[in-house]
Structure 1
Amino acid sequence: MESVYLTGRPALDFAGTLRWRTSRCEDLLPSPAAFSAWAERAGLVTEPVPVGADDFPRLIRLREAIYRLATARLRAEPWGGCDLDVLNAAAAAPPVSIHLTEDGTLCRRGDSCAVGSVLARDAIDLLGGVDARRIRECAGQGCTRLYVDHSRGATRRWCDMTECGNKSKAASYRRRRATPGHLP
C-alpha cells in the first residue's frame, strides 16, 4: 500500500487516503488493518492500533467528513451539519496518550477512537484556524488531494512535485516538443 504524508496536516493526509475521487478512485485504506498500519506510519501512534469491525466504518465516515468540510472551506461553501456532527463527535473522544520512556523515547498509544480524535482535532484546528485560507486542491489532472500551501507567495500548484507536478510538467514539455517549428 502506498503511503503519502505530504499535505502539511495529518487530517488532510487522512482525507487523501481516498485518491482520484472523481475518476479512478483508489482507496489506500481498504481494511481495518490498512488503517492501523497507516496510523502507525503517519506517526499518530507508535504501535499498531486494534480497529474493530464497528470502528472502521466510523473512521471512514470521519475521513469523508473531513474531506467534504475542507473542500467546502476551500470553495467558500456552507458546511454540512452531519459532517460537523461526525467531526465534533470524533474530537470529543480522548486523544492518543503520550509518554516518555526511561530511554527518552516518545510513545503514542491509543485505540482507533483516540486516533480518530487526533485526526478530528487536527481538522478542527485547520478549518477554524489561520491555515484554513491556505487549503488548496491539487492542480494535477484528476487529482483530488487537498494540501496546505505554505510556499512562498502561496504559489504551490500540486500535492506532490514527484507525482502530479512531474506528470504535468512532462505533459507540457511533450506538447511543446510536438508543436511544429519547435527547435530542439
Structure 2
Amino acid sequence: MDAFVFVSGRLCLDLAGTMLWRRSLRTELLDSPADLRRWISAADILDDPGPVDSRALERVRRLREAVYLVAGNWPLGDHADAAVKDALAEVNEAARLPLPRRQIEESGRATRTGGVDEVLGAVGYDAVDLLGSPQFARMKECANEDCTRLFVDLSRSGARRWCGMAECGNRNKAAAFRKRQKEQSSG
C-alpha cells in the first residue's frame, strides 16, 4: 500500500503533506531515499528521477518544510520572523532551478526527465505560482483538528472542509454518526 495521497490540489501542498500530524504524532512519509523515489513517481513529476541519496532527501524535506511555513504565514507582512523569511528564500531558490525536461518521441510517447534539481524546481515553481495566484485565497487546512494537511478548495461552493474524504472526511462523518446514535439511544 502506498501512503502517499494527492488531495491538496497543488504539487507543493502535496509535498508538504508528506509530513503528517504536525501538531501531534509527526509522521514522516519521506523516511528514506527509496520513499522519495516512490513519491516522485507517484506525483508524476519525472519518469525516472535517477539516483536519489540522503542529501537529495534532505534537500526535498527542507523545501517541504519551507513551503509549509510560508504557505501558513502568507502574506508575510512587515513583521515576519527570520525563519519565515528564510523559508521564503528557500522556496524562491527552488523556483529558480530547472523544470523537468519534457519531450515527445516519434512514437507519440511524452517523457519527463531530470533529477532532484528538476523535482525541486517543479515544486518551487508551483509554490511561487500558488502564492501569487487568486487560488491562494482558497487554501485551507483540513478541519480535522489532528490533521495539518493544506489544500486548495476547488469546489464550486468553496465549502470543502477535509483534506480528503477517504481519511479525514469519512472519519469525521463516522464519529458524528456514532455520536448521534449514542444521543438517540440515551435520550
Q: Indicate whether 1:50 and 2:51 are aligned.
A: yes
Q: Indicate whether 1:160 and 2:154 are aligned.
A: no
Which ranges of structure 2 fall in alignment gaps of 5 or more residues? none
Percent identity, aligned pairs only, is 39
Asked if structure 2 preserves the Cα contact closer than 8 Å seen for 1:138 and 1:147, the reply is yes
User: What is the one-letter code of the residue matched to 2:33?
Assistant: P
Residues 146-178 of structure 1 show CA distances to partners (whole Å, capped at 9, x for unaligned) of 000011221000000111000001101111111
> TM-score, normalised to structure 2's length?
0.91
Moved over 6 A (4+): 74-77
CA RMSD of aligned residues (A): 2.0
Could you tell me how far 1:53 is from its partner in structure 2? 3.0
Which ranges of structure 1 fall in alignment gaps of 5 or more residues? none
Asked if structure 1 preserves the Cα contact closer than 8 Å seen for 2:16 and 2:67, the reply is yes
Could you tell me how far 1:181 is from its partner in structure 2? 5.4
Residues 11-65 of structure 1 show CA distances to partners (whole Å, capped at 9, x for unaligned) of 1000000011111111111112211111111110112432233222121110000
Q: Indicate whether 1:103 and 2:107 are aligned.
A: yes
> TM-score, normalised to structure 1's length?
0.92
Could you tell me how far 1:182 is from its partner in structure 2? 6.7
Q: Indicate whether 1:4 and 2:8 are aligned.
A: no
Could you tell me how far 1:180 is from its partner in structure 2? 4.7
User: What is the one-letter code of the residue matched to 1:131?
Assistant: Q
CA distance in 2, matches of 1:93, 1:22: 31
1:97-176 to structure 2, matched below 5 A, reads 97-176=101-180
Matched pairs, number:
183
Q: 3-state SS of the aligned residue for 1:113?
A: helix
Asked if structure 1 preserves the Cα contact closer than 8 Å seen for 2:47 and 2:112, the reply is yes
